Amino acid sequence: MGSNGIRDRVAIVGMGCTKFGEHWDKGVSDLLVDAANETLASAGVGVEDIDAFWLGTMASGFSGLTLSEPLKIVNKPVTRVENFCATGSEAFRNASYAVASGAYDIAMAIGVEKLKDSGYSGLVLPTGGDGTALDFTAPSMFSLLAPAYSKRYGVSMEELKEVFTRIAWKNHKNGVANPRAQFRKEVPKEVIAKSPIVAGNLGIFDCSGVSDGSAAAIIVRTEDAHKYNKKPLYVKALSFVAGQGTGTTDQDYDFTTFPEVVASAVDAYAQAGVTNPRAELALAEVHDCFTPTEMVLMEDLGFAKRGTAWKEVLAGTFDMDGELPVNPDGGLKSFGHPIGASGLRMLFECWLQLRGEAGERQITNGRKSGLTHNLGGTPGCAVSFVSIVGSEPSS
C-alpha cells in the first residue's frame, strides 16, 4: 500500500498553450484546436499518432465528444475529467498514468475553459438542492484566510494587506513579459491596495483573471521521449488529494492552511525525492486564485516556515530574482484562469523555463526541476494537485 508515484517513467514531449483572455472570436472548439495543434507540432506528431486523450474542462463541455469532434479524432478513447480548478492537472495526471501503465504509447492531456460566454464575470456554479448551501462567493471564502492568519501569527491586517498587494504586484509584473498572459501591464501598488473591496479585505486586484484559454501536453514513456523531442520534461511526481470537505464544519480547522495541499506536497516530494523544495526547485507555479492563497501556499508547500510566508513575500523571496521564483508567468493573477486549462498552463511555464525557452523571463538559477500546484474548492473544502517535473532524469 502506498503512493508509489511514477518517477521518471513518463515524459512530456510536446506542449502548447493559447493566449488566455477574452476570446470573443473563439469558441471552445477553436481553443482546443489551437492548443492541440501547437502541442502536436511541438512533439512533431499528428493527431492520428495519439493513442488516447484526456480532456479537462469544468463546465465548457461534456463527454469526450467535446474534443473528438473538433479535432476529428478517429476511433480513439477520449476521457473527459473534472476536478474543480485542478481539472487540467487531473487530465495530465490520468494521461501520465495511462502511458506509464503501458496501456498506450502516446497520450494527450488537454484542458480548456470558456468562461466569457456566460455574460457574467466570475465563475458560475449551479445551485438548487435543498437550498441550504450558502451562496457565498469564492473571494469571501478565501478572504477568511486573512483574519485567521492575522490572529494566529500576530500579523496585523494592515501588514497582511501589504503582503497581498505585493503578491498581486509581483504577479502582474511577471505577466508583463509573457505574451500569452491576459494582463500585461505592471500595476502600481497604490492602485492594487486601493482597488474596490469585494470581500473581507480583498480588493478586485486580489482576485485572478476570468478568462478563456486552452493548454495541452503530449506524454510518452521516458524511453521513447527522445524519438519525439530532444529536450523532454520528465515527470517526477504527481499527487492529488481530495479533502474530506469538512473544514468549514470542523472546529479543529483554523483557516490558516490547506491541509489538502500539505498532504499532496508531502506525497509529491516523497515521490520525487525532494527534501528542500525551496533550494531544489527552479520555479514554482502555484494556484494564486486570490492573493492570500499564494501567501498560505508558500507555507503549505514548504517554501517558508509556518508564520513566516508574509515576511518572505515582503522580502522578495518569491520574486523573479528571488531565492525561489513563484509564478514567473504571472500566475492566475495576470495569466488568467480558464479553469480546465490552468493546471496545464502551469506545466507549460515549467516546459518553457526548464528547457530554456522562456525568453526575457528566463530563470537562470541553474536548477533542473519545477513544481506546479493546482487547487480547487475553498479553504476547508478543497482538492489539491502537486506535480514536479524536471529536465533531467534522476541519477
Partner 1 sequence: MSGIISYGSYIPYWRLQRAAISGALGTHSGKGTRSVASYDEDPTSMGVEAARMALSALGGTSTRAVYFATTRPSYLEKTNATAIHAALDLDEDAFAADMIGSVRSGVAAIRAALDAPKPTLAVLSDIRTGLAGGSDEREGGDGAAALLCAAEGDFIAECLGGATATAEFLDRWRAPGDFAARVWEERFGESIYLPLARSAIASALKQAEIAPEQVTHFIVTGTHSRSIPRIAATVKPETLVDNLAATIGNTGCAHPGILLASVLDSAGPEETIALVVLADGADVLLFRTTKALTTRRQPMSVASQMACTRDDLAYSKFQTWRGVYRLEPPRRPDPVGPQAPPTYRSEKWKFAFTGTRCAACGTCHLPPARICLRCGAVDKMLPERLANTRASVATFTIDRLAYSKSPPVVVGVLDFDGGGRIPVELTDVDPGKVQVGDRVEMTFRRMYAAGSVQNYFWKARPIRGTE
Q: Name the site residues for partner 1 (rule: CB under 8 A).
A: 119-122, 124, 126-132, 134-137, 139-141, 143-144, 147-148, 151, 197-200, 244, 246, 248-251, 255
> What distance, in Å, lies between the first and last C-alpha atoms of the chain?
25
CA dist., res. 331 & res. 168, Å (int): 10
CB of 199 to partner 1, least distance (A): 5
CA dist., res. 287 & res. 86, Å (int): 9
**What residue type is 286 in one-letter code?**
V
Q: Is 110 exposed, middle or buried (0-12, 13-18, 19+ CB in 10 A)?
A: buried
Nearer to partner 1 by Cβ, of 37 and 137: the residue is 137
Q: Is 254 exposed, middle or buried (0-12, 13-18, 19+ CB in 10 A)?
A: middle
Residue 244, CA distances (Å) to 150, 233, 383 in order: 25, 33, 9
In contact, 335 and 180? CB cutoff 8 Å: yes
The catalytically annotated residue of 337, 350, 373, 381 is 337
CA atoms within 13 A on the CB side of 243: 25
CA dist., res. 394 & res. 278, Å (int): 18
CB of 203 to partner 1, least distance (A): 10
CA dist., res. 302 & res. 226, Å (int): 33
Q: Is 17 noted as a catalytic residue in this protein? A: no
**What residue type is 371 in one-letter code?**
L
CA dist., res. 4 & res. 206, Å (int): 37
Q: Is 207 noted as a catalytic residue in this protein? A: no
Nearer to partner 1 by Cβ, of 101 and 249: the residue is 249
CB of 193 to partner 1, least distance (A): 17
**What residue type is 49 in one-letter code?**
D
Nearer to partner 1 by Cβ, of 127 and 395: the residue is 127
In the chain, at which residue ranges do the beta strands (DSSP E only) sit?
A: 10-17, 52-56, 78-81, 106-114, 197-199, 202-203, 212-221, 233-242, 281-285, 369-378, 381-390
Angle 34-35-36 (CA atoms, 0-180°, nearest 5)? 95
CB of 5 to partner 1, least distance (A): 26
CB of 135 to partner 1, least distance (A): 6
Nearer to partner 1 by Cβ, of 246 and 275: the residue is 246
Task: Fill in the DSSP letter of residue 207.
Answer: B
Nearer to partner 1 by Cβ, of 121 and 394: the residue is 121
Nearer to partner 1 by Cβ, of 325 and 377: the residue is 377
The catalytically annotated residue of 85, 207, 289, 350 is 85
**What residue type is 340 in one-letter code?**
G
CB of 188 to partner 1, least distance (A): 23
3-state secondary structure of 176: helix
Nearer to partner 1 by Cβ, of 244 and 275: the residue is 244
CB of 315 to partner 1, least distance (A): 27
What residues are annotated to the active site?
Answer: 85, 337
